[in-house]
Amino acid sequence: MQSLSLKLNKTYGFVSKEDILSYKDAAEKAAQALHEKTGKGNDFLGWVHLPSSVTEAEFSAIEKKAGYFRDNTEIVVVIGIGGSYLGAKSVLEALSDNFWALKDHQKNPRIIFAGQNLSEDYISELISLLDHKNYGIVVISKSGTTTEPAVAFRILKAHLENKVGHEEAGRRIVAITDEKKGALRTLATKEGYTTFVIPDNVGGRYSVLTPVGLVPIAIAGFDIRALVKGAASMEKATAYTVPFEENIAMQYAAARNALYKKGKQTEILASFNPKLLYVSEWWKQLYGESEGKEQKGIFPASVTFTADLHSMGQYIQEGLRNFFETVISVKETQHTMVIPNDPQNLDTLNFLSGKRLDQVNKMAELGTLLAHVDGGVPNIQIELKRIDETCLGELLYFFEIACGISGYLLGVNPFDQPGVEAYKKNMFALLNKPGYEEASKAIQKRLAEE
């Protein structure tokens, strides 16, 4: 039984219950098409039943390698970009102590990400840290050819080999990639690295429950079985056989499409817990890459409150009325903090004395919800019981399945990303990559004429 819940009542002033319910047939058909692999992009639906199909052998292999890193390294650099980065990053940020980087005596290696940018400063500063650390590398790329992680891996591989020797470096490098093809697969085979496979039928942004997400999460010491178990309970709760009226994934997909039809072109994902910041980043990739095509799609944006109430709050309250908000509310905190009494009360805050900080946060949340709805912003509410592996597993799968349904309701293929190629083509032309000679000439001519 899943603990995640969805409330749509704060959208009803903007769309009617009937507007949302009018998507019932289409949403049920979309969910069935995902299940039966009859819709657009059906080569990439391996993630739909992934949570209920991870085997004991897969868990054990991942946990064994994670144990190796825990015993032998103090830092593990996870190299990847997009779907090969954001899933693990979102779970690790959510589950980790806010100040893990500054706290000593941790029993698990610290995870640092690389290959998600091309910044010379980032990689130089990372190298200067790694000069003094005992570290390993997990390199993740489904295609095995993505420039950003490939360049970072080339630099870090050379650094590690220099530091510990070629043989030892080989033991400390894990590659997660396609089973057969791609430059990373070729290299891993030649070097004899431990490898994990990204299934052919799972695209990057739907891959968090494959070794792409599970290996880094296990190395950091978190419970991947509970994460997958949470996702599996959501797989069951949102199966295509569960009717619309009881199916929160269908309802979320329907509500956002109904709002979009009423001119709400942007969805702002909001939360009042900074640990969910990277869940929002992951969600933005999931929905942005899945739906933003054919000149349509809801633009996914995000805010973290209450910080952003003091920046974006003004716009949300009074700017253009072309968006809706989806608020992830976390019911239980991990810690307790009571606001002390101050006999002098110079800050005039004694009305809060004895209250838990979370009570104040929750009232900020409720106050914001009411203010934004009054200001013309429809609100979808998602309640997460707490931030732990099981609840996060539920949340991630909920967003994935709802995204598939929502993309089908919108009429696009939610499982491709043709638009991502345009910048790569220009970059390769500008860098004179072999094979891009004609494009190089054309782009140089264009730049000279501008």
Residues with a catalytic annotation lie at 289, 310, 424
For 8, 39, 351, 354, 357, the CA distances from 337, given in Å and listed in that order, are: 31, 50, 16, 9, 6
Looking at the Cβ atoms of 84 and 273, the one nearer to ligand PA5 is: 84
Q: Are 48 and 292 in contact (CB under 8 A)?
A: no
Residue of closest CB approach to ligand PA5: 204
Least distance in Å: CB of 323 to ligand PA5?
24
Q: Does 146 sit near ligand PA5 (CB under 6 A)? A: yes
Q: Are 398 and 35 in contact (CB under 8 A)?
A: no
Least distance in Å: CB of 204 to ligand PA5?
2
Whole-number Å distance between alpha carbons of 185 and 15: 50
What is the number of residues in the chain? 450
* Residue (of 380, 258, 377) closest to 321 by Cα position: 377
Whole-number Å distance between alpha carbons of 150 and 278: 23
Least distance in Å: CB of 61 to ligand PA5?
20
For 1-18, letters b (16+ CB in 10 Å) and e give ebbbebebebbeebbeee
Among 12-20, 118-126, 202-210, 386-394, the segment contacting ligand PA5 (CB under 6 A)? 202-210
The kind and range of the H/E element at 39 are none
Cα dihedral: 228, 229, 232, 238 (round 10): -110
Q: Does 83 sit near ligand PA5 (CB under 6 A)? A: yes
Q: Are 326 and 269 in contact (CB under 8 A)?
A: yes
Looking at the Cβ atoms of 51 and 83, the one nearer to ligand PA5 is: 83
Looking at the Cβ atoms of 136 and 144, the one nearer to ligand PA5 is: 144
Number of residues that bind ligand PA5 (CB under 6 A): 14
Least distance in Å: CB of 57 to ligand PA5?
24
Q: Which one among 205, 256, 293, 372 touches ligand PA5, defined by CB under 6 A?
A: 205
Q: Does 300 sit near ligand PA5 (CB under 6 A)? A: no
Q: Are 211 and 80 in contact (CB under 8 A)?
A: no
Q: Does 141 sit near ligand PA5 (CB under 6 A)? A: yes
Q: Which one among 31, 81, 95, 384 touches ligand PA5, defined by CB under 6 A?
A: 81
Q: Which one among 65, 89, 142, 159 touches ligand PA5, defined by CB under 6 A?
A: 142
Q: Does 149 sit near ligand PA5 (CB under 6 A)? A: yes
Q: Does 213 sit near ligand PA5 (CB under 6 A)? A: no
Least distance in Å: CB of 66 to ligand PA5?
20
Concatenated DSSP letters for 315-381?
Answer: HHHHS-S-EEEEEEEE-S-SS--BPPP-TT-TTS-GGGTT-BHHHHHHHHHHHHHHHHHHTT--EEE
Whole-number Å distance between alpha carbons of 214 and 216: 6
Looking at the Cβ atoms of 153 and 272, the one nearer to ligand PA5 is: 153
Looking at the Cβ atoms of 4 and 111, the one nearer to ligand PA5 is: 111
Looking at the Cβ atoms of 143 and 333, the one nearer to ligand PA5 is: 143
Paired strand residues for 383: 5, 329
What are the tokens at 322? Answer: 């072309």
Among 140-148, 156-164, 257-265, 315-323, the segment contacting ligand PA5 (CB under 6 A)? 140-148
Whole-number Å distance between alpha carbons of 156 and 158: 5
Looking at the Cβ atoms of 23 and 44, the one nearer to ligand PA5 is: 44
Q: Which one among 28, 289, 291, 358 touches ligand PA5, defined by CB under 6 A?
A: 289
Q: Does 417 sit near ligand PA5 (CB under 6 A)? A: yes
Which residues in this chain contact ligand PA5 in the complex, by CB under 6 A? 81-84, 141-143, 146, 149, 203-205, 289, 417
